Amino acid sequence: MERLWRPWRINYVRNIESLRDEQCIFCSRPAQDDDAQSLILYRGDTTYIIMNLYPYNTGHVMVTPYRHVGELEMLEEGELKELMDLTSLAIRAIKKDMSPQGFNLGINLGKAAGAGFDEHVHMHIVPRWQGDTNFMPVVGDSKVMPETIADTYERLRKSLESLLQDGM
């Protein structure tokens, strides 16, 4: 049997229970001073773009409001508009840098819908490529990520900066 080493996952495995008990990541991350450490790619007025620390695919980001709110219909008009504006901006940045062939977008509302943090609304943006699903998740219960989170962060941050300099 061939082994697939994924040492970065040990932090998740060791801390899964403490992650459930800790403060909401969508509230605590923007309060930190270091956006690179927090994986925040862009800060808007009412919402921001953050990378998913445990991505489904390389380039998986989320857009979420600063305000701690768990229901989509509880978002204020400005938050809702900026949520979609930043979703569009993130898609353009990912397209520019990574050339995916498609995207999955989604908001999981409530635990029953699969929300890991069900008390804070967030939009998932997952880039997709033909053939990005293979036997590894099915047979090996593993997802092979071809790039580190830090490298993807830098690439997408530069892509966002370029788009913003060009006027979005």
Which residues have a catalytic role annotated? 122
DSSP H helices, 22-148, are 25-31, 35-38, 77-98, 135-139
How many CB atoms sit inside 10 A of residue 94's CB? Answer: 24
Residue type (1 letter), 59: G
Give the integer Cα–Cα distance in Å for 164 and 130. Answer: 29
Tokens at 22, concatenated: 């800790």
